[in-house]
Amino acid sequence: MNKTLLNYETLLKVTNVISHSKDPEEVVLMAVESITRALKVKGCAVFLLNRKTGELELAADFGLSDEYLNKGPLSAMKSIADSLEEGPVAIYDVSDDPRIQYPEAAQKEGIASILSVPIMAGGRSIGVLRVYTDTPWEFTLEDVNFVQAMGNITGLAIDMARHYKGLKQSIEVLKTLRDPKLIKSKRRTPYESVPKSVHP
């Protein structure tokens, strides 16, 4: 089976999960595993931006060791920063690129190349999706487009889940407001709304 067909099947598989799931974690986990298997790479991870701390926080991963994932905080300004706002960034040699925040940890993990693409939601970047290879990799336009599409789908899934969660909470609030046990009696007493000073 050729790579193009595999990529289409992966897209179909992930969009199918989105259409049946309201859980963003399930979608993100499916995405990182599917990308890793479709491209036959070492691993894949999704990082979401914490705007308060300026750090990229791990949301899901596949194929990477705990030691590598816990190497230290990822700064949005130091760790392949361009990919967060400007678009896909492909790094051929992690051992010789200033955009890598932890080059020694990457080499120890056996990572040779990285592709990082932004995850968009609501018109703004909310994080990055990264692909890791264990051999030097010249990412093709097809590779980049596929990973970017998966990044967009991941962002859409996260956005939809947030809206669904907000809608669900709103519905619960409305249900609470309409609960007969919580609604005070609407019957008026003869003295209701009459100042106490004029009561007989």
In CATH terms, the superfamily for domain 3-175 is GAF domain (3.30.450.40)
Instruction: Summarize pLDDT for 147-173 with one digit per residue, the tens.
Output: 998 888 888 878 876 665 555 555 565
Confidence of residue 9 (pLDDT cuts 50, 70, 90): confident
Domain ranges of the chain: 3-175
As a whole number of angstroms, the distance between CA 60 and CA 53 comes to 19
pLDDT given at position 132: 98
pLDDT given at position 184: 54
Asked if pLDDT for residue 187 goes beyond 90, the answer is no
pLDDT given at position 26: 78
Answer whether 100's CB lies under 8 Å from 82's CB: no
Asked if pLDDT for residue 61 goes beyond 50, the answer is yes
- Mean pLDDT across the chain: 81
Share of the chain above pLDDT 90, in %: 44
Confidence of residue 12 (pLDDT cuts 50, 70, 90): confident
Instruction: Summarize pLDDT for 88-144 with one digit per residue, the tens.
Output: 999 999 999 999 999 999 999 999 999 999 998 888 899 999 999 999 999 999 889
